[in-house]
Structure 1
Amino acid sequence: MDVLSDVIAVMRTGQPRSALVGWRAPWAQAFAAVPGSAGFQVILKGPCWLVRPDAEPVALAVGDVVLRPHGRGHTLADSPSTPPAPACDPDDPGALRRVAFQGDAPDTVTLCGGYRLDAGRAHPLLHDLPELIHLPAHLGRHPELRATVDLLAGELERPRLGTDAIVPALLDTLLLHILRAWIEQQVRRQPARGATGWAAALNDAPVAAALQAMHRDPARPWTVGSLAAEAGLSRTPFARRFTGLLGQPPLTYLTWWRMTVAARLLRESDAPLSAVAADVGYTSEFAFAAAFKRRQGAAPGRFRRASAAGQPEDHVG
């Protein structure tokens, strides 16, 4: 997979949630803070406001998409002054549907939802994301995102055969399109020189080529020189460019990515430790176990047993 697809595959856990919700004025609905999650809102009909603690209210219009990538609480309302109803229970999949207006045609319709993210395997890209990603509707901009929203809204409004399989796939697609649009937005806003972070790195051809190579084949015995060759640069300029954009040397990121892939394999497969080690570039199971314990705080076998028992990763060590 490409780097952005890998990021989602690594962080996402469980099933995403979504619902179509209709509102009639006056209305205001609080959405509780949920650590380890990302919530989104898509405005399908009528204007509304997004209200956050310690921030100015944001006016939303039809077609706007917002993502709260760090699980902070917020309120949607017809007016910033409307008192909100109690927050929905984020672990109750029917909560949003029960607050939906059931009478006459609603003034506002929103597509609400959220994703569970595993804090133990959060990709550095997540730390670069702002508290709020707001993608205003613009004619002709982000057509794939708009098409995904239309498909998702249609499935939720008229469930049919296959909806239970289609909706989670569309939700993952929606998240990818939101992140892709944000990355493109950042590149347009930032000057060509001096920009840093993951948005800049993924749009820098040499660094993106090296990242893609690491993600495509983490088992390969990469060196700074071989990664520089993938980037089309000599060794020293490549290392300087990679570190300048991402704040860490290329082999430091490679080790982090290998251990992240290994953790996923240990959780999701019963492959022997020797096979997991080989899949992430270690010919010695002992060397792999030592590297994994440094990163995760537990030996691979113990990590696998704790994961199978449902023990939180931050309590494994």
Structure 2
Amino acid sequence: MDVVSDAISAVRIGQPSSNRLRVGGSWCTRLAPYEGAGFHVVLAGGCWLRPDGDGAPVTLGAGDVVLLPHGAGHVLADAPGDTARAVPFEQMRRPAGDPGGREAELLCGKYRLDHSRVHPLLAELPEVVHLPNRVGAHPELRAAVDLLARELDDRRPGSCLALPSLLDLLLIYMVRAWMAQAETGAWPTVLSDPVTTAALRALHSDPAAPWTNDRLAAEAGVSRATLARRFTTLVGRPPMAYLTWWRLTRTATLLRDTDTPLASVARETGYSSPYALSHAFSREFGVTPGRYRAQVRER
């Protein structure tokens, strides 16, 4: 596994959901804050998006993609301006049509995410990630959008599997596209540094291995001092501290998503015994692994 895949897998719950919205004339709808991430793909026409709070309105055109990675509430409308007219998204109906308004067709959806243990790569994403449709930009994202549009236009055998898979692919491509164009944020820099990337890839590929600073430095092809300096500066914590954090994050994911016995979870995440894992987990999460598993399944 790589860092981006692991970061998404650690927080993703269940399958994404989506709705196709066709509107025309004067329209305005509000999407409430959500415990996950929201997204919109403009299939045709255009509209405006205004995030809650002080965020500036964003113009969206055909082919544009927007991700709201922290589930921020927002308004979609035919034009900027008064948002008091917004109706809840669930109550939207295709309006009769006003020739003066903008027509639009959107794919609106959301991903269920567990924000209790978000990887710092995802945590530093801005409230709104706007990825305009530009010629030659982000070809993989454009291809995913085209495939989604075709799948929606012509529901063929296998669509029930194809659509969730394409939506998962869309999330990966949106994160990649942000990293490629980001002007701020630590993690695009982290993953462009060959030493830090090599170390992270090793830790994520086999978190249960008996890693030491010396062994990890050898894996990255640098001295222990060089690895410690570059990793700590870029990632924000020393290599072994990051490893401990990732092992416990991986433990939480396994407890949430599987029925794997604690002894097996301990082996998979690098702990010598269930007791050792339970002690470390309780110190970090404030509850035992068994209690944590019960709590997340009660939600």
- TM-score, normalization by structure 2: 0.92
Deviates more, 1:104-113 or 1:51-60: 104-113
- Displacement of 1:56: 2.2
Deviates more, 1:75-84 or 1:7-16: 75-84
In the TM superposition, what whole-angstrom CA distance separates every residue of 1:160-200 from its partner, at most 9, and x where no partner exists? 221111111111100000000111112xx46xxxxx61111
- Displacement of 1:100: 4.2
Given that residues 48 and 60 in structure 1 are in contact (C-alpha distance below 8 angstroms), is that contact kept between their aligned partners in structure 2?
yes
Output the CA distance in 2 between the equivalents of 1:21 and 1:304.
37
Identity %: 49
Aligned to 1:109: 105
In the TM superposition, what whole-angstrom CA distance separates every residue of 1:42-70 from its partner, at most 9, and x where no partner exists? 11212221112312222122111111111
Aligned to 1:148: 144
- Displacement of 1:99: 2.9
Aligned to 2:228: 239
Aligned to 1:256: 245
Task: State how 1:88-167 maps to structure 2 within 5 Å.
Answer: 88-89=89-90, 99-100=93-94, 107-167=103-163
- TM-score, normalization by structure 1: 0.87
1:214 aligns with 2:215: no
Pairs aligned (count): 295
Output the CA distance in 2 between the equivalents of 1:72 and 1:224.
39
In the TM superposition, what whole-angstrom CA distance separates every residue of 1:131-176 from its partner, at most 9, and x where no partner exists? 1111111111111111111111222233222111111111110000
Q: Which structure 2 residue ranges, 5 or more long, are not aligned?
A: none
Aligned to 2:177: 181
Aligned to 2:38: 39
Given that residues 26 and 97 in structure 2 are in contact (C-alpha distance below 8 angstroms), is that contact kept between their aligned partners in structure 1?
no
Given that residues 26 and 82 in structure 1 are in contact (C-alpha distance below 8 angstroms), is that contact kept between their aligned partners in structure 2?
no
Output the CA distance in 2 between the equivalents of 1:100 and 1:206.
53
Aligned to 1:273: 262
Q: Which structure 1 residue ranges, 5 or more long, are not aligned?
A: 90-94, 191-195, 313-317
- Displacement of 1:27: 1.3
SS class of match (1:15): coil
- Displacement of 1:279: 0.8
The verdict on how the C-alpha distance between 1:99 and 1:10 changes in structure 2, with shifts beyond 3 A counting, is farther
1:301 aligns with 2:290: yes
Aligned to 1:64: 64
RMSD: 2.1
Q: What letter corresponds to residue 169 of structure 1 in structure 2?
A: S
SS class of match (1:112): strand
Output the CA distance in 1 between the equivalents of 2:236 and 2:36.
25
1:76 aligns with 2:76: yes
Given that residues 20 and 157 in structure 1 are in contact (C-alpha distance below 8 angstroms), is that contact kept between their aligned partners in structure 2?
no
Aligned to 1:15: 15
Aligned to 1:288: 277
